[in-house]
Homo-oligomer: A and B are copies of this chain.
């Protein structure tokens, strides 16, 4: 994979005073005006990953306000659409969602008539998941919103080639780290 630079590399150590200021959101609680210095923190993979993820999720929620879908709910709908008839446990474990959280998430989707749990005929203890007609319609609108309002921002911010490189690197980390 090739990655072109997206911004000038901020100088290490020497310029610590200016470094990371942008990262610090209104960090002045009780009267002190000066932003904190992030120092080494701004180079920590886990830290920047988490900050980026929070920012992306916030943007996702704003873009999806009209449909009231969280990132996790959207993932579940996408995965059920792509894999109809697979069971609850498979969907949850593929997404890495813990069982109690997943049950609450499904209760919500089912109460809004977006997906349905059906007792499996093969295994009475297991429930398979399917999208309802309303679920399919909402997912279709959600995909358009995500593409035009959310994912498109990433292209604007990084450019198409870097966007692809980023997704590739993140997938590699998710699979191999």
By a beta-carbon cutoff of 8 Å, the part of chain A in contact with chain B is 1-12, 14, 16-18, 21-32, 35-57, 59-60, 71, 74-75, 78-79, 81-91, 93-96, 110, 113, 116, 118, 120-123, 125-126, 128, 130-134, 136, 143, 146, 150-151, 153-154, 157-158, 161-162, 164-177
Contacts and interface: CB of A to CB of B under 8 A. Distances in A.
Chain A, interface SS category:
helix
A48 to B, nearest CB: 4
19 contacts: A5-B130, A12-B123, A18-B89, A22-B96, A27-B93, A29-B126, A31-B122, A36-B86, A37-B82, A38-B79, A39-B78, A39-B82, A41-B82, A48-B171, A50-B57, A51-B171, A53-B53, A55-B174, A59-B177
One complex includes copies of this chain to the number of 2
Contacts of A18: 89, 93
Nearest to A29: B89
Contacts of A59: 177
